[in-house]
Amino acid sequence: MKKDKNILCIGAGYVGGPTMAVIASKCPDYKVTVADIDEKRINAWNSDKLPIYEPGLSELVRNVRGKRLFFTTDIAKGIKDAGIIFVSVNTPTKTFGEGAGKAADLQYWEKTARAIVEHAEDNKIVIEKSTLPLRAAEAMHRILHSNTKGLDFDVISNPEFMAEGTAIDDMQNPDRVLIGGMETASGRKAVERIVEIYAHWVPRERILSTNVWSSELSKLVANAMLAQRISSINSISALCEKTDANINEVAKAVGMDSRIGPKFLKASVGFGGSCFKKDILNLVYLCEYYGLPEVAAYWEEVVKINDFQERRFVKNIVKNMFNTVAGKKIAVFGFAFKADTGDTRESPAIYVSRMLLDEKAELAICDPEALDNAKRDLADDKGKFEFVNDPYKCARNSHAVLILTEWSEFRKLDYRKIYASMEKPAFIFDGRNLLDHKELFKIGFNVFPIGSTKFTHLK
Ligand code: UDX
Ligand code: ADP
């Protein structure tokens, strides 16, 4: 197979895996290899139990794996063989040094750039797929061109806009695909070659080519604006709880203004996920770096409101359970940062659980897909908590049930049975406004939604 039809993706995570599965399934004239340093992860990609849960992913992988889609730990060979290299290694927020807590930690990404330089034997197109700070492509360009082999690399920014839980559909039917390239003759040619891949299934008018900086910044801004909508509606949910307004009614009325639109206005216990907080903080860091403290403060507030919403949720629990949860069993329904994923990165459930453990509550945690990750997240935490697969067992003898992830499974449970097995008075704090609150109240629960009046039998 010719090298320009040979794609390598470095990083077999939530981004690399699903993205490459879709490219392989849509582009029969390409060979796609996904490489990772993590051998366990690669073995899982080659097995029946994939390392990540994503609706539709395993069918897709099963259809093309071993034919056009390959998973390997042999990064060197992958680099040698491929003409097009996607980089989707992790870029978490820095936890140390300059920019700690805000800037992106680029160590994995830089190691990858250096591996490309070391193993490449000819010119290649390198595509940044991880979310990176602005001007990362330029840094990538510099590292790649530090080679003494006389090789030339075109660096492209192609941010991913897929959301977990809907990754396959987002990738198969994207609102738009963004491809940013250098404004040189060879840069433009490289962009065209990546456009050609996506054009296998995406209508041309949805494929935008821009300069690299616009592409990198658009990704940060899209996520910052989405998160801002959630923080906006969550801030108003606090006001609704103090008045007789209902956040669902407000969101509907506001969202029906076609200039605003109905999406991403669901009030919740807070947003999570690997992108929103990281990308906003990245934007904040950039603004500070460029001497724009007012702009930095503006965006940082989106994250602060999210922290406030999580704290508020826990305060509300403690206050309404007679100002103490010490020694009380509390059932946590849902640990993933949203439904249809096992991912728990930045999940509000982590923060809510920690705050409740500090209050000496005893937690029982259930989630259809996220328990392994939840165990890892709380591995270093002190206090009493257990992981239970069955929600009925999880709720038995508890004083309260918390809904922290909007899994549809939780809607279908028999809440009469749950109520009967709980201590009284029994509480439900619905951090996702998932359940039928009036119905729960009729059963006997004291119900606390987000952003509307509580239903309580207490005097
Ligand atoms: C996000 C972007 O949507 C995606 O385009 C980008 O590529 C990666 O980051 P993701 O983090 O997977 O995707 O999930 P998303 O669906 O955006 O949800 C993020 C968080 O916001 C979740 O915790 C979700 O529960 C919460 N959310 C979302 C709300 O609380 N209310 C809403 O109305 C929408
Ligand atoms: P994302 O959500 O951005 O996809 P993940 O953490 O799920 O993030 O995936 C990133 C993957 O990149 C991990 O599987 C990790 O092992 C891999 N990775 C990190 N550094 C390197 C590297 N230098 N070479 C190859 N793979 C790497």
The reply to whether ligand 2 has any atom less than 6 angstroms from the CB of 219 is: no
The reply to whether ligand 1 has any atom less than 6 angstroms from the CB of 286 is: no
Residue pLDDT, tens place only, 131-188: 666 677 778 888 888 888 899 999 999 999 999 999 999 999 999 999 999 999 999 9
Q: Is the pLDDT of residue 368 over 80?
A: yes
Neighbours of 309 (CB within 10 A): 24
Residue pLDDT, tens place only, 3-50: 889 999 999 999 999 999 999 999 999 999 999 999 999 999 999 999
Cβ pair 30, 5 in contact under 8 A: yes
The band of 93, judged by pLDDT with boundaries at 50, 70 and 90, is confident
Half-sphere exposure of 270 (CA within 13 A, CB side): 27
Of residues 372, 356, 373, 375, the one with CA closest to residue 427: 356
Annotated catalytic residue 275: yes
Q: Among 9, 27, 240, 275, which one carries the catalytic annotation?
A: 275
The residue to mutate among 108, 276, 278, having the most atoms of ligand 2 within 8 angstroms of its beta carbon, is 108
The reply to whether ligand 1 has any atom less than 6 angstroms from the CB of 265 is: yes
Question: Could you tell me the distance, in angstroms and rounded to a whole number, from the CA of residue 78 to the centre of ligand 2?
Answer: 15
Main-chain phi, psi angles of 263, to 5 degrees: -85, 155
Of residues 280, 177, 146, the one with CA closest to residue 225: 280
State the ligand closest to the CA atom of 38: 2
The reply to whether ligand 1 has any atom less than 6 angstroms from the CB of 164 is: yes
Structural tokens at position 89 = 């290694």
Q: What is the architecture of the domain spanning 3-202?
A: 3-Layer(aba) Sandwich (3.40)
Give residue limits of the domains in the chain: 3-202, 211-459
In this chain, the answer to whether the domains covering 3-202 and 211-459 adopt an identical fold is: yes
Q: Is the pLDDT of residue 281 over 80?
A: yes
Q: What is the CATH number of domain 211-459?
A: 3.40.50.720
The band of 101, judged by pLDDT with boundaries at 50, 70 and 90, is confident
Question: Could you tell me the distance, in angstroms and rounded to a whole number, from the CA of residue 93 to the centre of ligand 2?
Answer: 14
Measured by CA distance, the residue closest to atom 19 of ligand 2 is 89
